[in-house]
Amino acid sequence: MICRDYGDRARLDAVDTRLVESVAEHGWGVVMIGAQESNPGWAFTVGLWHSHRLPELAMFGQRNLNVMKTGLNLLGNQLLDGLAATPGTRIDGVIDGYPVQLREVNPEWHPVLFGTALGFYRATAAVPFRQILWPDTAGVFPDEEGFPPQFLDRQPLLWLSTTEHPQGPWTAEV
């Protein structure tokens, strides 16, 4: 793991150096990937597994990266306080006014979306990830009937394999 100095710390870039410092100080850090033409952006934790043996968390498609960062940190703290990270669980208090739901991330997506985490863990395959899904304004989640089609590309369905996932912005890199 990067948190352990193997004599190569001088080769870390500024992002990785800040991440190592954040994990050392807070137990985890949040990596934010801004929106691009091909996708709406996402954020994920690095260090929850290292520091607490809790799954890393990821959130996708919110227009404001800070909403995702705040949500990841709030949920990380809820997990530290004993909340189970069970897939399918609906959780309040992560995004104002809406419940969220956790889903297990298929490991096929790890190299595509979580390269910084893989670098931190030195490509350790056993690190689990959970996706935080958010609903529409009526409380319907992306995997439920009635979810508005115009929002389907904002959140990938990461519990599916890369070959089962519907074509869209998230499969362009696969």
**Does residue 139 lie within any of the structural domains?**
yes
Confidence at residue 4, expressed as pLDDT on a 0 to 100 scale: 58
Show the domain range for 53: 9-151
DSSP strand pairing (42-46 vs 56-60)? antiparallel
Domain count, the chain: 1
93-117 pLDDT per residue, tens: 898 889 999 999 999 999 999 988 9
174 domain-assigned: no
Distance CA 64, CA 72 (A): 13
* DSSP β-bridge partners for residue 45: 30
Task: With CA atoms as reference, report the closest residue to 1 among 108, 95, 122.
Answer: 122
Closest CA to 94 of 63, 110, 72, 115: 72
70-89, pLDDT tens digit by residue?
Answer: 999 999 999 999 999 889 98
Asked if residue 158 belongs to a domain, the reply is: no
pLDDT digits (tens, 9 = 90+) for 53-71: 999 999 999 989 999 999 9
Q: What percent of the chain has pLDDT over 70?
A: 91
Rounded CA separation 151/157 (Å):
12
3-class SS at 108? helix
Tokens of 53: 């043996």
Domain membership flag for residue 53: yes
